[in-house]
Amino acid sequence: MNTVIVLLRGINVGGHKKVPMLELRSLLTLEGYQNLRTYIQSGNVILESAEDRLKAIEDTVQKAIHSKFGFDVPVIAKTRKELQLIFEACPFSEVEKENSYFILLSSVPKKSLVEEVMTITFENEYFHIIKDCLYFYSSIGYGRTKFNMNSFEKKLKVTATSRNYKTMLKLMAMSDENEKDH
């Protein structure tokens, strides 16, 4: 069995796209996944799957949610090792890293698109794109930033979901626990 971290975008935010975690775990168990654990209400799932193709897992989860809840949710799946590599590749200082956001991309964007978005600048904030992650830091806080993930998704032609430093640490710890249990 493979331990996989499944990240859902935009659920349970502001009363929209409500997906109770208990129902989500039940739904994904019916899809054949095992040892399901969720972290907070914003769509973080650790599961075990016999399937090793992450795209197949993403598609299955997305279709199951659509079938059960009636709306589409972008889904990004990563192995624990992939998540760890993304975390370790963060180009910021340790202090900045602890206050940064990891915006996980559905695929590695084309180099020409990355070069184009790298010309975007905002005061008090900066970002780097390394492979399939956009690392974002703002000295004024994420809630007051001019950064707009939807805009970056369109420009890079990818789907994305963001997680903060503490959530990344928790997801790695939870996935590590799953792997140690087996």
Cβ-based neighbour number of residue 44 at 10 Å:
21
28 burial type by CB count under 10 A (0-12 exposed, 13-18 middle, 19+ buried): buried
E strand or H helix at 130: strand 125-130
**Among 87-96, 127-136, 145-154, whose mean pLDDT is lowest?**
145-154
Of the chain, the end-to-end C-alpha distance in Å amounts to: 9
Q: Please tell me the predicted confidence (pLDDT) of residue 41.
A: 78
14: alpha, beta or left, given left = phi > 0 and alpha = psi -120 to 50? left
Using the predicted structure, report yes or no on whether residue 182 has a pLDDT greater than 60.
no
Domains belonging to the chain, first-starting first, are 2-82+169-180 (3.30.70.1280), 83-164 (3.30.70)
**Among 13-17, 18-22, 66-70, whose mean pLDDT is lowest?**
13-17
